[in-house]
Structure 1
Amino acid sequence: MSDRLLADWRQHALTLESEVNKVVVGQSNPIRLITTAIFARGHVLLEGDVGVGKTTLLRAFTRGIGGGYQRIEGTIDLMPNDLVYHTYLGEDGKPHVSAGPLLMSGENLSVFFFNEINRARPQVHSLLLRVMAERTLSAFNKEHAFPHMIVFADRNQVEKEETFEIPSAARDRFMMEIPIVVPNDDAIMQGLMFDTKFHNVDALVDTLKADVLQFDQLNSFSGTIQNSVEASPTLQKYALNLWKATRQPLDYGVKVSNVDMNRLVLAGASPRGMSMMLRAARVNAWLNERTAVTPEDIHAVFHETVAHRLVFSPVYEMRRTEIAREMLTSIINAVAAP
């Protein structure tokens, strides 16, 4: 029964991917990683410039999995309660309160997108992190639950004025950080500029097949994947060595150009981070019709699940993206795979 179930859902997952690929072109790798996060039930940081299609991507996925989609823009004056409720003056001249973005879809909230999260103050981050961890919120003398919600957040990487960098403990709550870059393909770039279908996001998303998956069944099916895909003792030893190499890179001969490796790493990947990496690797194995995790499955998600968790000395923080990429590539090359 389980094999049949795994195969049926895999077919739906691949259909979902092909639907999203129709409207967000040239992003097949990020789409695979987001699909992986959805089935691993992990929150996601998106990394990329303005206008590369992050909103379209998330709206397309929400149409495919069903449930409610809500978003909020990070601003310097955003307060925690702005996530929960809006106040306004009614026609009767009296103040009224209506549900904010977190509460608007109720229990059916499926995708919550926090745009430019680093523009919001730390108090806002802390409320969001609590909701991400507990998937509940107390408001209006009532407990609200968001059992199916995945949070996606993107950081404004360009402007540094009036931004509050997300601390490492907060970054650790996100299963992945996925880069979204402009496709480096002339035909695709030309299409994005001149093909008018890409200029109206609402109409574009409406062309997709709706409810390919049932968002409210993903939690239980995710458990089925995790219980069905094995990790052999040799693979476990390999994953352990990768983890140790993020903490003590010099012990494994890992080097990064123009960096003092003795001073680079303040903290390697966390236990939570490595367990999330394994969750994502199991999903990758399932999507590729494997019943056990291979080193290839770990490599497919290693950078996206680990890079944002590394804590570097302040002197290297400005270059963290490129240093993390080089260091993790070096770890994959240095640690012998079974």
Structure 2
Amino acid sequence: MDRNDALLADWRQRALTLEAEVGKAVIGQARVLRLVNTAVFARGHVLLQGDVGVGKTTLLRAFAQVLGGAFARTEGTVDLMPNDLVYYTYISEQGRPAVEPGPLIRHGEDLAIFFFNEINRARPQVHALLLRVMAERSVSAFNREFHFPHLLVFADRNRVEREETFEISSAARDRFMMEITIDAPADDAQRRALMFDPRFHDTDRLVGALQAAMVPHRELNALAEVIQHSVQASDALQNYALGLWRATAEPAKFGVTLSDLDTAQLMLAGASPRGMSLLLRAARVAAWLEGRGYVTPEDVQAVFVETIAHRLCYQPVFELHRHEISPRLMSAIVAAVAAP
């Protein structure tokens, strides 16, 4: 076993232990935990969506707790402005105006997790600032440039309420490696625990009980690059991924059918090159977490919906129904494109 193999084996055990630790606070969400863990070690931002009270905030806070590093948080509201992320003003004890760094820049380069709660309640101007932060991991303020080399953005949104909300632009959504849907557990025993076990009734105590800073977060970027260079994708796997890519833009040409829609008239644009590169980045991490040094079609399929569905652009007549169309289309594409 060479040095990289030993490194990856050691870190894989750490990653699985970290995932299990989060599972102590968030039950009935094994697949969601694996997807978020995959994004963390692929160094990708995550958008979590779901109904009210299903545990979106708890899950993201739990990951922030176990990952360590500086953590900052803001709440999306209709009156939140971009400057509110960068600085805030107040009247000092001396009765004079004062300025302090906002949540985004307060911790400087040590910022590891920026949690944006209810992101769809914030205005597009705020999304625009966040877009730069996610894309470049930097922002300008106080006549200087702030860099966040270790930053991951975790955001959540409520998919039920539409009043006083703003749709996230395609450009902003494209910066999230994954858009993950979380639902209430289906298992009655897990639902019973959530209702009757007092441990789950105090979120602060629940998250605070998790082991903090389980991994050295400043080493994650370097580890991610080792994973990407070590986990191999065969020519056959690459051809399969190319087929999936083309099918997102021209589903009808690949035999993708939906019973009530003409797939030849459905798409405005398929997945972008960035989206497909992130798909393969996530697939390599998925393979690594399963203990393999090569990517299989199952690894690609495991992350396909969450990395690609939110990047697709439908014709305007279909765009309002994307949340109903996308899951069906993704399943149909996976079924139609032959895997090696």
TM, length-normalised to structure 2: 0.97
Alignment of 1:20-99 (within 5 A): 20-99=22-101
- State the partner residue of 2:324: 322
Aligned with 2:182 (options 167, 180, 183):
180
- Give deviations 1:187-224, integer Å, cap 9, x for gaps: 11111111111111221122212222111110000000
Match of 2:165 in 1: 163
Contact 1:58–1:111 (CA under 8 A) maintained in structure 2: no
Question: Which structure 1 residue ranges, 4+ long, deviate > 3 Å from structure 2?
Answer: none
Alpha-carbon offset, residue 153 of structure 1:
1.7
Unaligned runs of 5+ in 1: none
Distance 1:161 1:181 in 2: 21
- Percent identity reads 63
Distance in 1 of aligned mates of 2:4 and 2:190: 40
Shift of 1:130: 0.4
TM alignment of 1:304-315, pairs within 5 A: 304-315=306-317
Query: Letter of the aligned partner of 1:98 in structure 2?
Result: E
Partner of 1:17, secondary structure, is helix
Aligned-residue RMSD, C-alpha? 1.1
Aligned residue in 2 for 1:295: 297
Superposition deviation, residue 54 in structure 1: 1.7
Residues 240 and 338, structure 2, Cα contact 8 Å, conserved in 1? yes
SS of the residue corresponding to residue 72 of structure 2 reads: strand
2:6 pairs, out of 4, 7, 26, with: 4
Query: Is contact 1:249-1:331 (8 Å) kept?
Result: yes
Q: With structure 1 as the length reference, what TM-score do the two structures score?
A: 0.97
CA offsets per residue over residues 46-67 of structure 1, 9 Å max, x none? Answer: 1111221122212211221111
Structure 1 contact 256–323 (Cα < 8 Å) conserved: no
Question: 1:321: how far off?
Answer: 1.8
Q: How big is each residue's C-alpha offset from its partner over 1:38-95, in whole Å with a ceiling of 9 and x where there is no partner?
A: 0001111111112211222122112211112221111111110001111111121111
What secondary structure, in the 3-state scheme, does the structure 2 residue paired with 1:102 have? coil
Contact 1:72–1:115 (CA under 8 A) maintained in structure 2: yes
Q: CA deviation at 1:317?
A: 2.1
Q: Which letter maps to 2:9?
A: A
Aligned to 1:281: 283
Secondary structure in structure 2 of the residue aligned to 1:176: strand
Q: SS of 1:69's equivalent?
A: strand
Which residue of the partner structure matches residue 211 of structure 1?
213
Distance in 1 (CA, whole Å) between partners of 2:29 and 2:14 is: 19
